Amino acid sequence: MNPADNNLQSNYKTVLAIDDDPDFLIVLKSILKKIIPNAEFIEYVSTKMGRPDESFDWLKYDLILLDYDLGNDEKGLDWLRHYKRSEDFPTTIMLTAHGDEEIAVQAIRFGAHDYINKCKLSVDRITQALTNAIDRKIEQTQLATTLTLQTTLFNKISFYRKLRDKLNTKDKETDNHSFIIQINIDDYEKLHKKYGLLTIDELVSHMAQNIAECIAGKDFDVNITITGDSVIACLLTEHSDANGGEQVAKTICKLNKSYSFSYKDVVLKSSISIGVVSISGTEQNPDKLLGTVDQACQQASKEPGDSFFLYEEPSKKPKGVKKKVKKQVGVEQSASNKLNLADVMKQNRLQPYYQPFMALSEGAGTFAADYYQLKFNIIDLNGKSISQDALDQSELEPGSLALLDRGMLRYGLGQLAAQKKKKKEHECGLFLRISNESFASNILYAWMTKLIVKTKTSSIASKLVFEITPSEFLANEKVIDSFINKMRRTWGIAFALCDITNPSMLEFCMKKTGFEFVKILATTVKSDAIPDITSKARELGALTVLENINNGNQLNDAIAAEVDYGQGDFIQPPQDQLVMRTDDIEI
């Protein structure tokens, strides 16, 4: 037995084969025995044994061979989607007598490792599938390790939550000490202007990764996050040394002296300024504490080269720089207590996420992109997550939503540029909701033109889709119509008319201005209205999206109405990343 055979045998000791045809299971067993002769082979005839109950122990198997058509109106895809609830679920290969590429795509999306047409079943094809599954599982294990480290080191929610928790404890009653450290890249503006946004983002990410690798795993706990374009924050807890913050700052300075980042044959180098604040005995407000460490950073930046400043209480003598630091009030609170999104963005407390679209019709191939809804949560100072939709019930400072639009657009364009740079097989497109403030201000077009030039993402035709509600459109028809024409003419940006509830409203808006997409909310529209809206959209030349699909009935409604795209947790839950960023620790 060669090493490859040994590898298959050691990975697949117990096999569960599920099919509605007992004769086919006999054939399948004979093929498997030629590949993994020592494996235990368990047959499951679906028409006789029915759907497994919730206590069925899937995890005791190493490999599942699952038929697509299980008889009695049962589908293997439904079983896979229902029972695969964790990454520990066994390697699954979907088998089908159909040569349907769409079934193959859905099988992979729902967690199958491969898809084999029964007509092409052979020893070689199954061997290839089993080998590929092992390789994929190794990659997933490495990715899981990466994401675990990312969660503990780079996750913003975790960072703010741990900061809040630490401020609520009393280190002074123990022998442990905690510090917050902020690292600023001194030459950020100069490097950004010369090399562009994506290059500098990678520089910041690589620097954060190097710092993490340098200080993680010591005899204290570490949380690291990138809190701004040029700012890295570290939270050190459970440190046994009262001078631990100073020691870590010196270590980071020493690391930066020997560190350089190469990108496209260009070596990027910058000095850093570090602020250090001991948490014990300081302000109990996270915002004020972050303001204090930022002030310490600014003091350090007055010194040439890599430098750090240790902030201490005003009654004590500060180290590092002779001049005392006055305690800074972190984020200014509005006198009216309105939510200030400018402060949220400055502190990088936006957590973007992506809701994937699933193509349900042939018409979805009109645009050669895999679409995602780009949304965000706001992380409050207690580490809690506030949804984007909740802003509708919040009192905001004037201009906040327009500022937020620009922040999300900047982020989205960066993601599209990263996709283009990595030359992915399938291009990605992003749907973004744009506020009325942006349409009314006339600033967005000029700002976006400048940003596209900077990020070199001019090829964004149909990859960026702006969403507009009928009420917004009708309230500012002339302004929005002009905006749509400029954006479409200059950059090929597409537009979606969202929250449509009836075909008459759709037709009224579409006859004034054309839209490439029409979005329907499954949770607010009657199911019998969906076919009428879809038919009218198709007649007017638009693709349809049914969003917030939360159950099988709503998905069936979408398919029956020939909706082009489906979106919702039932189809595929939101994901934290569109592409793997370099601010993850690579193993």
**b/e map 20-38, b = 16+ CB within 10 Å:** bbeebbeebbeebeebbee
C-alpha to C-alpha distance for 493 and 486, rounded to whole angstroms: 9
C-alpha to C-alpha distance for 109 and 107, rounded to whole angstroms: 5
- Which residue type is seen at 311? Y
**Domains of the chain and any CATH numbers:** 3-151 (3.40.50.2300), 154-311 (3.30.70.270), 346-567 (3.20.20.450)
**Torsion on CA atoms 196, 197, 201, 203, rounded to nearest 10:** 10
Predicted local confidence at residue 98, as pLDDT: 67
- Dihedral over Cα of 474, 477, 481, 484: its sign: negative
CB 212 within 8 A of CB 585: yes
Predicted local confidence at residue 463, as pLDDT: 82
Q: What residues have CB less than 8 Å from 211, skipping those under 6 apart?
A: 183, 224, 232, 234, 252, 255
Predicted local confidence at residue 400, as pLDDT: 77
Instruction: Output the six-digit token pair for 465.
Output: 């889709």
Name the strand (E) or helix (H) holding 95: strand 91-96
DSSP assigned state of 20? S
- Dihedral over Cα of 507, 513, 514, 519: its sign: negative
β-strands 63-67, 14-19 pairing: parallel
**On the CB side of 345, how many CA atoms lie within 13 Å of its CA?**
15
CB 428 within 8 A of CB 354: no
Predicted local confidence at residue 22, as pLDDT: 92
Predicted local confidence at residue 276, as pLDDT: 93
C-alpha to C-alpha distance for 361 and 390, rounded to whole angstroms: 32
Predicted local confidence at residue 586, as pLDDT: 29
C-alpha to C-alpha distance for 360 and 546, rounded to whole angstroms: 10
DSSP state string for 159-209: HHHHHHHHHTS-GGGSS-EEEEEEEEETTHHHHHHHH-HHHHHHHHHHHHH
**Torsion on CA atoms 583, 584, 585, 587, rounded to nearest 10:** -130
- Length of the chain, please? 587
- Which residue type is seen at 42? I
Q: What is the pLDDT along the chain (587 residues), one digit of tens a residue?
A: 455 567 888 889 999 999 999 999 999 999 999 999 999 999 999 999 999 988 899 989 999 999 988 988 888 888 987 787 666 789 999 898 766 656 776 677 667 888 888 888 889 999 998 988 887 777 655 544 444 444 444 456 567 767 777 777 654 455 678 889 999 998 887 887 777 766 777 778 888 888 888 887 667 788 888 776 678 888 888 888 888 889 999 999 988 888 777 766 677 788 999 999 988 655 567 767 887 888 899 889 888 889 999 987 655 444 444 333 333 333 333 334 456 677 777 777 777 888 888 888 877 765 656 889 988 888 776 666 777 777 666 677 777 788 888 888 888 887 777 766 655 556 788 999 888 778 766 677 788 777 777 666 556 766 889 999 888 888 778 888 888 888 888 878 889 999 998 888 898 888 888 888 999 998 888 888 999 999 999 888 889 999 998 877 888 888 889 899 998 887 777 777 664 333 332 22
Strand-pairing partners, residue 18, are: 44, 66
Predicted local confidence at residue 366, as pLDDT: 59
Predicted local confidence at residue 272, as pLDDT: 92
3-state secondary structure 349-376: CEEEEEEEEEECCHHHHHCCCEEEEEEE
**b/e map 346-355, b = 16+ CB within 10 Å:** bbbbbbbbbb
Residue among 12, 18, 71 at smallest CA distance from 38: 12
Predicted local confidence at residue 65, as pLDDT: 95
Instruction: Output the six-digit token pair for 524.
Output: 């607010």
pTM greater than the 0.75 cutoff? no
Q: How far is CA 112 from CA 83, 142, 207, 230, 569, in A?
A: 12, 19, 37, 41, 18
Residue among 320, 345, 209, 206 at smallest CA distance from 270: 206
CB 47 within 8 A of CB 70: yes
CB 577 within 8 A of CB 585: no
Place of tokens 């979005």: 519
CB 556 within 8 A of CB 180: no
Predicted local confidence at residue 535, as pLDDT: 92
Strand order from edge to edge, sheet including 231-239: 221-228, 231-239, 177-185, 272-278, 307-311
C-alpha to C-alpha distance for 12 and 26, rounded to whole angstroms: 18
Predicted local confidence at residue 333, as pLDDT: 35
Predicted local confidence at residue 477, as pLDDT: 82
- Look at residue 51 and give its three-state secondary structure: coil
In 418-548 the beta strands, taken as DSSP E runs, fall at: 428-433, 464-468, 494-497, 517-521, 543-547
**b/e map 405-417, b = 16+ CB within 10 Å:** bbbbbbebbbbbb
- Dihedral over Cα of 493, 499, 503, 506: its sign: negative
Residue among 285, 357, 405, 410 at smallest CA distance from 575: 357
